[in-house]
């Protein structure tokens, strides 16, 4: 085992004990001698320790300090052994985590910054969030910005974790973990307070999607509720509900996740489901620049709003930005907010039905009719703009701007690493080519060949299925999301829309206003 770790991962390892009874329920891990067994490894990174070794003045305390310092800098890697069947070795591992890894720190007097890593519901359906505090102090009854939209919510209860249990408290400070209640629609990965740099994208994006098919006895409402609760608790589950077709799609990271989801729905909710064929979860990127505008009471605009938008492409990975080229005081802020929120919502479904990303949307025109304020008159909707007017008009303007700019569908690509016997390379390469995988590097290590490259996310499962037969069962496959690439072959994939379809003006206006024009 140690030879395998050293050969395939890193030689900078420190065995923290010995094992007995391997392969049996009597297997045990015996701590020690630890650092003394890895003096050469530790001395490679510590001149003081090397000098002590030459002068024969090495002590256990010196070795331990070197191990702690180098572990915290990831220069060396302590190795513990354990048994999943009996739990043997767990106590030694926990002691090692406590003594060798750096303690949590942070400024308790700084701005509040925390990240939610778990969400659960209590017996009465109440939601609780588990959060790691990086900075500041959070107290009961404090209002704190939550999630991507920064909505403020009030903390109604705090329990702080220590020594394996949680205890009710009035506050949680930097470096602690707490269970918080009162945060409403909080999700795993959401930031509390100031987002911590480097934690903006906690999880890689899902790259696959499938439709959940309820069994003949399954109530669709109960299924939707169960899926919603699972999505709250698991950041790897994303839902998309189609009211028109009465279908729910779930985003995936791999085929195995379908089996886990199916078993969870059956065991915890008593719901029998199957799934349709898995498809890649694509995105759309803007090709050029497009601009459109609609004005109050002109060109069959039925909304009491003027909205002009320009769409420009942005660098890959930059997301969506909303900017203004009109004065912020030109109309009430609530109307600008309605436009921005609707822009982001509309970009969830582009010209081909996929999420549009990596673009800048700029508001170029604005206008509204003020609220009637005469003392003898009541509010007259027919003569006064409301947020609904801007929310209704924005999708029409935005999709027209997208039409003029053009979008291109990109499919998710995975970076793969295949390790296989060198004499199977001849059989492996044609299969990789047939799956549209592109090997970028190939290297040999004794009688083993290692290939690295990219492969469409939709083909990863097929590659994993083919690999054992091609490599006598000795092949190993690793893959992870890498980037999105333009769909280069075949028909451009389309995704059914779940909105009021602003691509069809007549249909959209009938759905939104029950009219087709001004």
Q: What pTM, to 2 d.p., does this model score?
A: 0.76
Residues 291 and 397 in one domain: yes
- 240, 249 Cβ separation under 8 angstroms: yes
**Which domain does 35 fall in, by range?**
2-100
- Residue 44 inside a domain? The answer is yes
Q: Which helix (H) or strand (E) holds 293?
A: strand 290-294
Residues 321 and 432 in one domain: no
Domain boundary among 73, 100, 127: 100
Can you give the CATH number for the domain in which 153 is found? 2.40.30.10
Residues 392 and 506 in one domain: yes
- pLDDT, position 198: 57
- pLDDT, position 379: 53
Residues 52 and 136 in one domain: no
- pLDDT, position 517: 56
- Residue 106 inside a domain? The answer is no
- pLDDT, position 413: 96
- Residue 32 inside a domain? The answer is yes
- Residue 96 inside a domain? The answer is yes
- pLDDT, position 303: 94
- Residue 25 inside a domain? The answer is yes
Q: What are phi and psi of 199, to 5 degrees?
A: -110, 15
Residues 233 and 187 in one domain: no
- Residue 451 inside a domain? The answer is yes
* Count, residues in the chain: 518
- 410, 481 Cβ separation under 8 angstroms: no
- pLDDT, position 96: 92
- pLDDT, position 367: 95
Determine if the peptide bond prior to 33 is cis (ω within 30°).
yes
Q: What is the 3-state secondary structure (H, E, C) of 424-489?
A: HHHHHHHHHHHCCCEEEEEEEECCEEEEEEEEEHHHHHHHHHHHHHHCCCCCEEEEEEEEEEECCC
List of the chain residues with pLDDT < 50: none
Residues 276 and 293 in one domain: no
- pLDDT, position 162: 83
Residues 127 and 269 in one domain: no
Residues 236 and 377 in one domain: no
Residues 416 and 395 in one domain: no
Residues 363 and 417 in one domain: no
Can you give the CATH number for the domain in which 480 is found? 3.30.70.240
Residues 76 and 137 in one domain: no
Q: How far apart are CA 136 and CA 155, in angstroms?
A: 15
């Amino acid at each position: 085992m140690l030879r395998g770790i050293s050969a395939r991962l890193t030689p900078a390892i420190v065995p923290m004990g010995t094992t007995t009874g391997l392969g049996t329920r009597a297997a045990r891990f015996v701590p020690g001698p630890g650092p003394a067994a890895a003096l050469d490894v530790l001395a490679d990174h510590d001149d003081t320790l090397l000098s002590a070794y030459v002068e024969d003045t090495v002590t256990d305390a010196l070795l331990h300090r070197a191990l702690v310092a180098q572990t915290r800098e990831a220069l060396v890697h302590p190795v513990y052994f354990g048994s999943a069947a009996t739990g043997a070795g767990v106590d030694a591992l926990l002691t090692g985590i406590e003594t060798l890894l750096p303690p949590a720190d942070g400024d308790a007097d700084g701005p509040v910054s925390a990240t939610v890593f778990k969400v659960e519901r209590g017996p009465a359906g109440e939601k609780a969030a588990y959060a790691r505090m990086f900075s500041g102090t959070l107290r009961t009854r404090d209002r704190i910005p939550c999630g991507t939209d920064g909505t403020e919510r009030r903390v109604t209860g705090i329990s702080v974790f220590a020594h394996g249990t949680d205890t009710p408290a009035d506050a949680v400070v930097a470096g602690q973990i707490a269970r918080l209640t009162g945060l409403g629609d909080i999700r795993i990965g959401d930031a509390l307070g100031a987002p911590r740099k480097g934690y903006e994208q906690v999880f890689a994006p899902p790259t696959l999607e499938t439709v959940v098919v309820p069994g003949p006895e399954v109530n669709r409402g109960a299924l939707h509720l169960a899926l919603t609760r699972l999505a709250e608790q698991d950041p790897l589950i994303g839902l998309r509900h189609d009211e028109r077709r009465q279908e729910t799609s779930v985003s995936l990271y791999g085929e195995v996740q379908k089996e886990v989801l199916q078993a969870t729905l059956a065991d915890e909710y008593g719901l029998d489901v199957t799934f349709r064929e898995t498809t890649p979860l694509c995105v759309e990127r803007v090709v050029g620049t497009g601009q459109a505008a609609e004005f109050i009471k002109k060109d069959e605009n039925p909304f009491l709003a003027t909205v002009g938008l320009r769409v420009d492409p942005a660098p890959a990975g930059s997301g969506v930005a909303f900017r203004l080229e009109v004065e912020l005081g030109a109309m009430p802020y609530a109307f600008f907010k309605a436009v921005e929120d609707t822009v982001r919502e509309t970009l969830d479904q582009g010209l081909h039905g996929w999420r549009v990303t990596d673009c800048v949307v700029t508001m170029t025109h604005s206008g509204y009719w003020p609220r009637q304020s005469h003392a003898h008159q009541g509010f007259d909707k027919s003569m006064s703009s409301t947020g609904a007017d801007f929310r209704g008009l924005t999708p029409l303007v935005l999709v027209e701007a997208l039409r003029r700019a053009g979008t291109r569908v990109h499919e998710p690509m995975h970076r793969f690493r295949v390790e296989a016997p060198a004499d199977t390379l001849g059989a492996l390469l044609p299969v990789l080519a047939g799956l549209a995988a592109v090997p970028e590097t190939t290297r040999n290590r004794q009688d083993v060949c290692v290939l690295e490259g990219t492969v469409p996310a939709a083909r990863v499962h097929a590659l994993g299925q083919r690999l054992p037969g091609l490599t006598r069962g000795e092949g190993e496959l690793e893959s992870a999301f890498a980037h999105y690439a333009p769909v280069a072959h075949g028909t451009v994939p389309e995704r059914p829309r779940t909105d009021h379809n602003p691509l069809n003006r007549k249909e959209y206006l009938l759905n939104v206003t029950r009219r087709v024009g001004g």
